[in-house]
Amino acid sequence: MKCVILANGDYGDVESCRWLLNEADIILCADGGANYAYKMGIIPAYIVGDMDSILPQVVDYYKEQGVEFRRYPQRKDFTDTQLILALAKELNADEIVFLGSLGKRLDHTLSNLYCGAELAMKGRKVWHYTANYSAYLVNKEITISGKVGDIVSVLVLTDQAQGVYEEGFEYPLKNVILEKWNPYAISNVLATNEGVITVREGLLLVIHYHGKLI
């Protein structure tokens, strides 16, 4: 099941993510992410969080539509992202796509990326989409489809990643060890329309930029 989660971060051109919403089996909103769903005319299945960012008229509208709210206190031990990931797991989602999860605040961006690590390590597909790039948590293999010249960067979220291969890139890697504190695998370039990245042990963050960077 493909679960799309709307967070309260940077969307850029909100219409750029419409195709993902159309493909979703279920849509969830993390707090203020419901404001963006409202703008796009989307009815989520659940809205989760402490509700400190969602607009009052949006709350009223979604209550009228019968959307289920899961409200938590502001003083809590878990972030809204952690809470909504727990719900996605409860709903048996095997692919989780975040929208608006990156960009506004660096601490929130990093937290949102790390929150999906446990599920990714257990084999679920977790990734984040923006108008400019996609960021994937990879613990086995991923095929990046794009255009020749697209920039793809690989960072390590665990201390080490062993047995890393990159094929279809200008700078291929073959059975290397990547370390979190030595990020030399950034700014690789697709040499074909598809590149394959695999890792034997560890968790990678693979960032694919859509088109040329300015």
Report CA-CA distances (Å) from 2 to 63, 72, 97: 24, 25, 8
Q: Which residues contact 182 (CB under 8 A, 6 or more apart)?
A: none
* CA separation for the pair 144, 17 (Å, rounded): 18
Q: Model's pTM, two decimal places?
A: 0.92
Half-sphere exposure of 30 (CA within 13 A, CB side): 25
Q: What is the DSSP letter of 17?
A: G
pLDDT digits (tens, 9 = 90+) for 162-182: 999 999 999 999 999 999 999
Give me the pLDDT at residue 213, please: 64
- The residue with greater pLDDT, 129 or 10, is 129
Residue 212: pLDDT over 80? no
Q: Where are the alpha helices (DSSP H) in 26-105?
A: 33-40, 56-64, 80-90
17 with 99: CB under 8 angstroms? Answer: yes
Arithmetic mean of pLDDT, 84-106: 92
pLDDT digits (tens, 9 = 90+) for 43-93: 999 999 888 889 999 999 999 999 999 988 777 667 888 899 999 999 999
Helices (H) and strands (E) in the chain, counts: 6, 14
| CATH of region 141-209, choose from 1.10.3720.10, 3.30.70.870, 2.60.120.320, 2.40.40.20 | 2.60.120.320
Domain limits of the chain?
2-131, 141-209
Look up the CATH architecture of domain 2-131.
Answer: 3-Layer(aba) Sandwich (3.40)
